[in-house]
Amino acid sequence: MASPDSLLNPTRDRQQLSAVYFFIFIVLGLSNGIVGPTLPTLAAHTQATLGQISILFTAQAIGYLLGSAASGHWLDRWPAHPLLMAMMAVLGVSLIAAPFAKLLILLTLIFFIIGLSQSTVDVGGNALLVWVHGRNVGPYMNALHFFFGLGAFISPLLVVAFIDLADGTAWVYIILALMLLPAMLLLRSRPSPRNPVARTHASAPARQTHLALLISIMFFLFVGAELSFAGWIYTYALELGIADVVHAGYLTSLFWGALTLGRLVSIPLARYLAPARLLALDIGGQLFFMGLLLIAGQRSMAVWVVSVGFGFTIASTFPSLMSLAERHMPIHGSTTSWFLVSASLGVMSMPWIIGQLFERVGPQGLSWVLSAAIVMVAIIFTIFQLATRPPSASTPNSTL
C-alpha cells in the first residue's frame, strides 16, 4: 500500500488538497464574520442588552487564544485530518446551537467553544499547507488567507439575504454548519500530510527558537496593527471631524476592501518574489502610509489614502511571515501555535492600548501606536534578515 506521503507527491494531489483547505478557510471566515451582524438578534433571544451581549467577543477571543496555545501540541501528536474533522464537528454543533440559546451564560459558553474550535482549524490549515507545499507554499499561503477574508466579507451579505425570513439568523448559522460537512468528507478521503518533526535543518535548535521568537513578535505587531486600524479608524475620523457617520463607515469598508484586494494580488506576486522580498516591500509601504498619517492625519484626503494604502500593504504580511518561517525552521504544529498565540495577544492588547491613549491624548494616539509598531517591525525584520544571512564567501567553513 502506498504511504500517505507518496500520495501527496503528484502536483494534482497537492493542489486538490489545497483546494479543500481553501474551502475550509472560506467557512472559517464566514463563521468569524457572522457574530457582529447577528449580535442584535442574539441579544433579543437571550433578553440581554448590547452591552451585556458584547461578552461574546471576549469569550470567543479567550477560547481562540487557549485553542491556539493547545492545538499545536495536538497537531504534533495526532493525525491532522481526524483532528481537524473533530474540531469542525464541534464548530458545526456549536454554530447550530448558538441561535437557539436562551440564556446568556449558555451562549457565552458556546462562543468560547466556537473560538476554541476555530483556532484549531486555523492553526491546522496554516501548518498543513506548509507541510504539503514546503518552500513553494508562498502563493498558496496568500490564497488561503485571501479565501478567509472572502468568507468574512461574504458573511454580512449572507445575513442580509436571510434577514427577512422567519428565524433568518438561525438559518444562517445552520447553513454555515452544513457547509462544514463536505469539507469534512473531503478530509476523510485524504491521508494527513506528514508532520516534518523529523526533517533535518542545518540550524541549531536554540537558533530556531530565537528565529521563531522574532517572527512571533512580528506577528504580534502586524496583526495587532491591522485589527487596531480596522477597529479605530471609524472613531478616529469622527473624533477629528474629518468624516460623518456614513463616511467613517466607508473608511472601514475601504480598508477591508483594499486588504482583500491586496491578498488577491499577492497570490501571483508570491510566486515570483521570495517571502523576505515581499515583506520588505510591505513594510516599506506601511512605513510610508504611517508617516503620512502622522504628518497629515487631520486631513480627510490623507486619511482616505492611508486607509487604502495601509490595507493593501498589510494584506500579505501574515501569509508572507508564515512562508518566511518555513524557509528557516521546521513548521510544527507547536510552532504555528506560537505564531497564532502571538497574533491573538496583539489583537487583544494593541487596540486596548490605543483606547487608553484616545482618552488621554486624543485620536492622534492611533497614529503614534501604529507608527511605533511598524517601526519596531522594521527593526525586528532587519535583525531577522541579518541573523539568517548566508555566510560570506570569505568564510567558507562557517555554517548557518
At 203-258, the pLDDT tens digits run 446 678 889 899 999 999 999 999 889 878 888 888 888 888 778 777 877 888 89
Same domain, 230 and 373: yes
Identify the pLDDT of residue 397.
47
Domain end call among 192, 217, 243: 192
Give the count of domains, the chain: 2
Same domain, 17 and 87: yes
For range 22-35, the mean pLDDT: 88
Same domain, 24 and 124: yes
Taking the CA of residue 172 as centre, how many other CA atoms within 13 Å lie in the half-sphere pointing to its CB? 30
Q: Which amino acid is at 13?
A: D
Identify the pLDDT of residue 205.
65
Residue 333 has pLDDT above 60, yes or no: yes
For range 74-82, the mean pLDDT: 88
CB 14 within 8 A of CB 135: no
**CA-angle at 48, arms to 43 and 53, nearest 5°:** 65
Same domain, 282 and 217: yes
Distant-in-sequence, close-in-space partners of 220: CB < 8 Å, separation ≥ 6: 342, 343, 345, 346
Which 8-state DSSP code applies to residue 2? -
CA nearest to 240, candidates 293, 283, 188, 279? 293
Identify the pLDDT of residue 39.
80
Identify the pLDDT of residue 218.
96
- Is 199 contained in some domain? no
Same domain, 150 and 36: yes
- Is 395 contained in some domain? no
Taking the mean position of all CA atoms in its chain, how far away is CA 320?
A: 12
Per-residue pLDDT band at 328 (split at 50, 70, 90):
confident
| Cα–Cα distance, 252 to 229 (Å, whole number) | 9
Domain end call among 192, 224, 246: 192
CB 127 within 8 A of CB 78: no
Same domain, 328 and 232: yes
Same domain, 79 and 216: no
User: Three cell numbers at 208?
Assistant: 530556531
Same domain, 253 and 139: no
Residue 102 has pLDDT above 50, yes or no: yes
Domain containing 285 — which CATH number?
A: 1.20.1250.20
CB 140 within 8 A of CB 266: no
The better pLDDT of the pair 198, 146 is held by: 146
**Stated pTM of the model:** 0.78
Same domain, 369 and 227: yes
The better pLDDT of the pair 46, 348 is held by: 46
User: Three cell numbers at 371?
Assistant: 507608527
DSSP codes, 290-314: HHHHHHHTTSHHHHHHHHHHHHHHH
Mean model confidence pLDDT for the chain:
85
Taking the CA of residue 194 as centre, how many other CA atoms within 13 Å lie in the half-sphere pointing to its CB? 12
Least confident of 79-88, 100-109, 120-129, 150-159: 150-159
Residue 395 has pLDDT above 50, yes or no: no
Q: For residue range 43-71, what is the model confidence (pLDDT) as tens digits?
A: 889 998 877 887 888 888 889 889 988 88
Q: Cα-atom radius of gyration of the chain, to the nearest Å?
A: 21
CB 30 within 8 A of CB 176: yes
Distant-in-sequence, close-in-space partners of 398: CB < 8 Å, separation ≥ 6: 391
User: Three cell numbers at 230?
Assistant: 480596522
Distant-in-sequence, close-in-space partners of 289: CB < 8 Å, separation ≥ 6: 305, 306, 309, 310, 313
Which residue range(s) make up the domain with 86? 8-192
CB 256 within 8 A of CB 294: no
- Is 399 contained in some domain? no
Identify the pLDDT of residue 75.
85
| Cα–Cα distance, 163 to 42 (Å, whole number) | 13
Taking the mean position of all CA atoms in its chain, how far away is CA 207?
A: 26
CB 371 within 8 A of CB 290: yes
Residue located via cell numbers 504544529 = 333
Taking the mean position of all CA atoms in its chain, how far away is CA 212?
A: 18
Identify the pLDDT of residue 391.
66
